[in-house]
Structure 1
């Protein structure tokens, strides 16, 4: 039996997926943040216009996730992931030569649709299929890799920008992406058939229809990720506005994301212990309650101290979203539902970033940006809290009916 058909190979899949998502999501989700100031200085573009580059990438990521997820079901995961690895590297290389704003809009859309879109959903689905038990912890570990990239890539970008300028930084990042993602993609394998069709335990059977799960979870993650994207996209330029140098400002995000590595693993384990929705609620409440505190902090020491506190809880949101999707969606349509719900999540990331940029352009301060982000978090809590109450009540009624039926 080949090594990659053995159960132990699932850890290779998890580790490889973690590294690939670290690089690709670090570039596409919030890797643009250190480029705000240099692009603004060279071209005179507003921060709203620059933030829209990231929004186009996230729209592509959402739409691509739906399409590439369906393609994965038909042709297998490795070819799709290899395509995503190549496209991600090539589009970042091309972006280094851009001279017009629309060039960057188009390139980041392509990077999201056929790069990140071919990586995130297919890799997460593969990991979930390789692990019959402990899926929460496995998903948390892979999400932790993504968090590491979202912290490390902005710091690396800031250092590269200082050394070789923004074009040289994108050129370097594109080359490194190709050199790492392509070999890693070749390690990905389709899960053995016995692992690809596992179901949840009976006491966790989903109670939502496909349409209901998409509508409810889609609305929740749209709000949740709108909040999440604001510090990811605007914390670096906010810190620079406080007089903190770019490299040190990027370091604040790095510290936040280092704490996020532990947070994503911890909340994955928490989901295995207390359930997906309670874990998601806990993480969502954490980031909603603390996000506006950033506006009260002005010094590097203050921001460095608070960043890991916020980051640990915020990080659990993505893990919570993924395990909750697994909890509430019907098995037969889970891949399709997941792709659509995650598309809402990426749309939220794009919406929060660009709205935050335009609110800054209107007010010349980030106060309103972060306040609106907190409000979006409250809406998410209301939706998920109501869903949890409804599911708990439905489960109680189901158990009562079963007791009556059995006498």
Structure 2
């Protein structure tokens, strides 16, 4: 009876599971500063160190690299020891990274600290967190994973304003030291909520559909992992075009950087709605179909950038893009839980998230390179559409192969 009562109180879909989700979302929003502060602090750092814009952008690049690698390493730790240990480790790394960045005497030191500590430390709060939440929900798994993923966008809406205010009033060094101290104090109590682990096999017992799907999968685990990683790169190369270059595109059209920043802000804000909404959809139709819908819609939005470049048209299309693309990345975590063993979830989600980060990095650079070669973003939008088609093709293939009945074994 005690075991049954404990399962009802602290098991799958329990009140504790919802408290855990709330704590995870808060942690993700707080720790998500690691992905956004460097963009806000870039001009101040550039002026302080007296370097060009390309050199001042290196900390952002290394942050993304550290974030991508951290999703794999921290995911593996979460699979073995539970999410609390890598979360605590990530928080310590984040805190140290910000304090040491505030004390750094050279830009190369700032760059290394952003990659090895800040980017790496914040990684636990994305891929591994989504994988962890997938264990605690069955019927509502899609929305739980999607809600956990919104912390990254909430951080993007909250932290830039805070960081900008304190940089203007106290300088970028004092701001970074203050963030480091705040994070260790604010996040540690919340991590204590995440210490509980499910009883071995409990998660599997509530997801017989996932077990059947894994048994009937037409792909080997390695093949499926490779396909998902290729899809992750492709979808985020496409996603990077407007997200990375929208401000520059608006400036080139004569609308000014401020208008482009407004469009980007609206895009990210509507991405929150998209992420949560995609979770509800995934609970009804599964991760593959949800990702396919999001990817098809993203392709439509990218195509609309080609014939329409008026100011108000760009506002509308950018808003559509935000509504369409926000649920794509969380859908990968749902697919992993549907097709792979729960014991490997965090590691495999981390591998896919790493692929999406590579896609964003390569896509941002590729779009800029295409612009340099052609003098226009039209070819860059076409390049994004082509990569988006690769993602759509992989999802269609996975859906088609998974829906085909497996041939019955011949009687002996």
Q: Give the TM interval when normalised to the shorter protein.
A: 0.7 to 0.9
SS in 2 for 1:397: coil
Distance 2:293 2:171 in 1: 41
Q: Is the 8 A contact 1:36 1:237 kept in 2?
A: no
Picking from 265, 281, 284, the partner of 1:273 is 284
| 1:107 alignment partner in structure 2 | 113
Picking from 122, 136, 156, the partner of 2:142 is 136
Picking from 11, 14, 24, the partner of 2:31 is 24
Distance 1:168 1:314 in 2: 36
SS in 1 for 2:387: helix
SS in 2 for 1:205: helix
User: Size of the alignment, in residue pairs?
Assistant: 396
Distance 1:266 1:200 in 2: 25
Q: Is the 8 A contact 2:84 2:194 kept in 1?
A: yes
1:42-191 alignment to 2 at 5 Å? 43-47=50-54, 49-98=55-104, 100-111=106-117, 114-158=120-164, 167=173, 170-171=176-177, 173-191=179-197
Q: Is the 8 A contact 2:231 2:394 kept in 1?
A: yes
| 1:286 alignment partner in structure 2 | 297
1:273/1:376 Cα in 2 relative to 1: closer, same or farther (>3 Å)?
Answer: same
Q: Is the 8 A contact 1:230 1:373 kept in 2?
A: yes
| 2:273 alignment partner in structure 1 | 262
Q: Is the 8 A contact 2:264 2:318 kept in 1?
A: yes
Task: Map Cα deviations across residues 65-94 of structure 1 (whole Å, 9 max, x no partner).
Answer: 222222223333212211212222332343
Alignment partner of 1:205 is 2:211: no
Q: Is the 8 A contact 2:98 2:118 kept in 1?
A: no
Range with bigger deviation, 155-164 or 10-19: 155-164
| 1:338 alignment partner in structure 2 | 349
| 1:8 alignment partner in structure 2 | 15
1:4/1:330 Cα in 2 relative to 1: closer, same or farther (>3 Å)?
Answer: closer
Range with bigger deviation, 214-223 or 92-101: 92-101
Q: Is the 8 A contact 2:32 2:151 kept in 1?
A: no
Distance 1:50 1:374 in 2: 30
Following TM superposition, by how much is the alpha carbon of 1:315 offset from its aligned partner in structure 2, in angstroms? Answer: 0.5
Distance 1:331 1:258 in 2: 31
Distance 1:35 1:370 in 2: 29
Q: Is the 8 A contact 1:158 1:250 kept in 2?
A: no
Q: Is the 8 A contact 2:240 2:363 kept in 1?
A: yes
Picking from 382, 399, 404, the partner of 1:388 is 399
Distance 1:176 1:355 in 2: 37
Indicate the RMSD between aligned Cα atoms, in angstroms.
3.5
Distance 2:374 2:173 in 1: 30
1:214/1:170 Cα in 2 relative to 1: closer, same or farther (>3 Å)?
Answer: same
Distance 1:331 1:337 in 2: 10
